[in-house]
Each structure stands twice: as C-alpha cells, then as structure tokens.
Structure 1
Amino acid sequence: MGSLGIYFMSLFKCPETVTKKLEAIRARFFWGASYEKGGLNVGSLQAFNIALLQKWRWRYLVHPGDLWVSVIQAIHGNRFDKVNVSSHSTWSTLVTTCNDSVSNGFLPNDAFFTKVGNGSSVRFWFDTWCGNSSLFTRFNRLFHLDLNQQDTIANKWCNGEWVWTWSRSNLGGRNSVLFEELKSLVSQFHAVDRDDYWTFSISSDGLFSVKVARDYIDHIMLPSSSVATIWFKFIPRKVNIFLWRLSRDALPLHWNLSAKGIDISSIVCPVCNNGIENVDHLFFSCSVAKEIWIKIRVWLNCNMPSFGSWESFLSWIEGSFSNNVVLFAVKKKMNNTTSKDTRAVYKSDV
C-alpha cells in the first residue's frame, strides 16, 4: 500500500489540493524541514513528486537510444523542454512540471549539464553545455538566423574551428555584437576523443538521485526556524521526536490545551497540584521532577546544576556535549555496570 503513492507521483503531477491536504495532516505531528532548519528531516511530498518526475528527464537524456525514448520523440518531438502536444497529455504535464521546477527556482538551470567530448550527441543550441543555460535561451536572435538549428556541436566544429551558416551575410549591428559574445563564449571549446555524457550538477558524483534532488528542493521550498533541531543519534528516535516537541512547546500539557481553546477543568499540575502545568514546571520546577533530577545527578556522578527552564537546560546541555562532559559521564557509568545492573538502576531510580 505504501508504494502506491510513489508509483502515482513518479508518473503524474500530484494535484496541489491533495498535496496540501496530506501535508496539513502530517504537519499536525511533524514539521518536514531539515535538522538545520529546525525540522525533523521529513521531506516535502511536493518535492518528492518533483524529484520523481525529474528522473524521467534524466532517463530521457542519458538513454536516447532506448525504444521508449524513440516512441516519445516520434509522438511529441525531440525536445524535452518543448512538446508539441496538448496540455492535457500525461507526457506534456510531466515535462511542464519538470520545466516549472527550474523556472520557479527549485532546481538550477544547469542541474542537467552536458560534459562535451566529441560533441556528436550534444545539440549546439538546445542542450546546456556552455554556461548555466542553453545557447538558444541566451542568443535567441542568432538562433533564428541559423540555417541549421538542429546541428550538434560536432556539425559546427570542423577541423578545429567553428562553421557558421547564417541566413544572411550581414547580421546587423545588434546581432553582430551578440555574435562576438557567442564566439568569445565558445572559444575555449576543444573536442576530445570520447563520448558526450550528461551529469547532474547537484550530486557530488554527477549521477541523478531522487534523494539528492528532493533534499535540494526541500532546502529551498520548506520554511526554516531560528533554532536548529538537536538530534542525538545514540538515543531512540521517539525520544528525539519528544525532545523536538518539547523544545517547541508542542506537548499536550494542560496549559497548551487551554491556550488552544480546549475546555480543561484545571490547568494545575496533576502530579504535585502546585503550579500551572507547562513545560518549565512539569520538567524542572515540579517537586517530582526535582527528585528525578537529583537521582540523575547521582547516577551520572556529574556536577549538574539545577535548571528552572528548558532554555537553561538546553544551554547547559549544548555546552556539555561540546566539551564531552555528559558523554564521558554516561560512558563511564555504562562501563562500570552490566546490562542487568543498568536496567536495575533505571527501574529503582525512576
């Protein structure tokens, strides 16, 4: 069942209303930004959808000789960025979504970049091979004057120099300036004896990855918090999530429920019946919490100060971890006790 959504999003653009509804449901529990941006590193569904569709672009470019590519080109034309079909077709919607992700700034123009070898498979005007956009986009006026607009680089590079075929001998003042810019831009090119190949500029190894594309889009698309998420790899995931909710005062405590308009009979702490049940009281000021903190200090044999709020505890824990104070205390305690003794310590102390 879990793969049904992936199958759908890898072929079709997910409707915006559906994506927003799913994101809204998930946002009740988790915030899907990276750790650095204050989230739980849960990717956006919209970014996932775009990344899956972009994989078709990669396949189309990297495997031009495949049968399905030939069928697509026969029906829709041989340019991925421009299709000659109605906007209601599946392929047209896929291509439009891929192109929109670039125009909207989710991916850079040179995300799919051609490394030129002999130039036999790279189109001079349409493919991105010189700079961060195609020459068709940057020199559109010259493109329309070219008699051989579909030429590859190898067609225009003969015997170590460029061969130009313009529709008129006198290009005119403005076109002449553009032509000089074009010649200067491509002057550093030299053909080499190897095949051309495509690379995904965002990835470190140059190969397309849905995860890399999704993470990149998430970084641009998702909002950020002023406080980064602290994630400890050596403690259970559910504990990390609990601490994340605690740091954002998102626990269902009486004070928080009352602030949201929920009818609560009392906002007094049900543990000690003394003080309002909020984060600072329940975890630091409550008489039971203070007893637990005393036992934690004894168990760790650590010179830990008293805390009155989450902010003071967080400030201390960040400094302690940077100096390995807590890590050293825990490691020392675990080395001096067996697994059975450790479970007994937890049980008796709590």
Structure 2
Amino acid sequence: MNIALLCKWSWRNVNEREALWRQVISQKCGEDDGRWHSHEVSERFGVGLWKSIRKEWDILSSRLAFQVGNGQRVRFWRDKWCGDEPLYVSFPSLFTLSLTKEAWVADVWNPEGEGGGWTPLFSRAFNNWELDLVERFLQTIQAIKVQRDVDDRVIWTTARCGTFSFNSLYSILEPGDSLLFPCGSIWRSSTPPKVAFFACKASWGKVLTLNQL
C-alpha cells in the first residue's frame, strides 16, 4: 500500500471535519480527545482500509504542529504549538511541577484583563535558581495569544505552506522503502502502457481529481 496515499487520507481526516465519510469513521472507531484522528482500529472485519490508514498515523503526526486559535483542541504541555517540540520536552522540570499536565491551551489562558494572559499552575513556589528557566518558559508561551473566535488548525511542518503534499512526504521517507510506490501492482506485463502510466501519475498525485477540476 502506498504510504503517501495513506497519509494523505489521514491529513484529510484531520481537516475535513464535516465530511460524511469522516463522521462515519468517527462513529465507528471513536476519536482522540482533540478529535484530530480516530482511535486505533482493532476489529478484524469491515474496517480493513481504515485500519491501514490509521496504522500510518505516526508518520504524519510526527511532522505536524498546531496553530493555536481558541486553544480548545490543543494540549498545553503535550502538543507541539510553540517552538519545535512540545513544552513537556523543552521544560521537563516545569512539567513535573505542573498541576495541569493534561490541560488544553484554553484552560491555561485567562481572557480577562488587557489582551489576556497565561496562568499555568505549579505545585510549589520556585527557587531562585529556577527563575531563569521560568523566565524562558514564559517568554516562549507569551509569543502566542488565544483567539476565541478562531479554530485551532494543524500545520504540516515539512512544507513551507503548511499543507500536506505527496512531494513533501516523499522527500523525507526512505528512498529504498518498497512501500513508497506500488510498482508491482502497476507495471505488470498484462497492464496496457497507457493505463500503467495513468496509474503511475495518480499514485504520485499528478492526476486532477474532480475536486481540482
């Protein structure tokens, strides 16, 4: 199975929240707390294709970041939304002291006052030697503000535009991986050359779909 194509469907699942097919998958498999993707598929029958798609989720998710809007679907500590890694990775000692390790970004934001502000909660007062670390932490999060009327969104970090594409994924996958391109099922001796060429272009996302026409 073409890994890039499976990842493309995961990307669509993240972004096309109102699509009927996505709602069916959500009802069948359930969703994670942020409603970005479905739970892992364990059933043996009836969901074979989606099971394959869900299996490759980690390839996609490892290269995703979040652009915070209202902060209701992004984890404050555990998701990547400010900087190149989650806050629990950048500030592990502060994460240990946090009283809200599973909080959403919106939970740590106080909209009152001029422009609002961040209100992370910790289990104790900080020692003098910890203040530089706390200052760096606050500088990191203060660059971003919660916007109540804007939805959180996902960014594909491998492309400058932030949108998933086949080319951007192929550029980071192992070139020797036989799963990257379905050669065996396309270039068969019994397949007419024109059909094989069309299938080849389709697998690389080069053929216009109805949505692109």
Q: TM-score range by the shorter chain?
A: 0.5 to 0.7
Decide which of 77, 98, 123 is 1:167's aligned counterpart: 123
Partner of 1:136: 88
Q: What secondary structure sits across from 2:73 in the alignment?
A: coil
1:97 Cα deviation from its structure 2 partner: 5.3
| 2:135 aligns with one of 163, 180, 203 | 180
CA shift, 1:59, in A, is: 4.3
Deviation of 1:204 after TM superposition, in Å, equals 4.9
Tell me the secondary structure at the aligned position of residue 183 of structure 1. helix
Amino acid at match of 1:148: T
Q: Is 2:40–2:55's contact at 8 Å kept on the other side of the alignment?
A: no
TM-aligned CA distance change 1:52 to 1:134, over 3 Å:
farther
Change (3 A) 1:172 1:54: farther
1:216 to 171, 181, 191: 171
Q: Does 1:156 align with 2:103?
A: no
Higher RCO (CA-CA < 8 Å; seq separation 6+): 2
Q: Which amino acid aligns with 2:82?
A: C
The question of 1:54 aligning with 2:54 is answered no
Deviations 1:135-189 (A, max 9, x none): 1222233223222222222221112111121122x24466544322210111211
Does the alignment pair 1:194 with 2:150?
yes
Q: What is the RMSD computed on CA atoms of the aligned residues? A: 4.0
| Kept in 1: contact 2:97–2:123 (CA 8 A) | yes
Give yes or no for contact 1:114–1:199 (8 Å, CA) kept in 2. yes
CA distance in 2, matches of 1:172, 1:85: 46
Distance 1:180-1:122 versus aligned 2 partners, 3 A rule: same
Q: Which of 141, 163, 167 is residue 207 of structure 1 equivalent to? A: 163
Helix, strand or coil: the match of 1:144? helix
> Is contact 1:123-1:152 (8 Å) kept?
yes
> In the aligned structure 1, how far is the partner of 2:51 from the partner of 2:154?
22
Matches within 5 A, 1:30-109: 48-49=2-3, 51-55=4-8, 57-59=10-12, 61-62=14-15, 66=23, 68-69=25-26, 72=29, 78=33, 98-99=57-58, 101=59
Determine whether 1:145 maps to 2:97: yes
TM-score, normalisation: structure 1:
0.36
One-letter code aligned to 2:123: S
Code of the residue aligned with 2:86 in structure 1: it is: S
CA distance in 2, matches of 1:216, 1:166: 42
Conserved 8 A contact 2:6-2:52: no
Percent identical among aligned pairs is 28
Unaligned 5+ residue runs, structure 1? Answer: 1-8, 10-47, 224-350
Distance 1:185 1:136 in 2: 13
- In 2, are the aligned partners of 1:146 and 1:166 still within 8 Å (CA)? yes
Q: How many residues align?
A: 160
**Residue among 98, 119, 127 paired with 2:79:** 127
Distance across 1 between alignment mates of 2:64 and 2:82 = 12
Answering whether residue 83 of structure 2 is matched by residue 117 of structure 1, we say: no
1:167–1:67 CA distance, 2 compared to 1 (3 A)? farther
Q: Following TM superposition, by how much is the alpha carbon of 1:92 offset from its aligned partner in structure 2, in angstroms? A: 9.7
- 1:215: Cα distance to partner? 2.5
Tell whether the 8 Å contact from 2:70 to 2:151 is kept in structure 1 after alignment: yes
Greater per-residue helix proportion: 1
TM-superposed CA distance for 1:119, in Å, is 2.0
Q: What is the SS of the residue equivalent to 2:170?
A: helix
TM superposition shift of 1:130: 0.7
Q: Assess if the C-alpha contact under 8 Å between 2:10 and 2:53 holds in 1.
A: no
For 1:25, the equivalent position in structure 2 comes to none
Offset from partner CA, 1:87-133 (integer Å, 9 cap, x none): xxx9999777554x58xxxx9x5x31222222232221122111122
Instruction: State how far apart, in whole Å, the 2-side matches of 1:84 and 1:52 are.
Output: 18
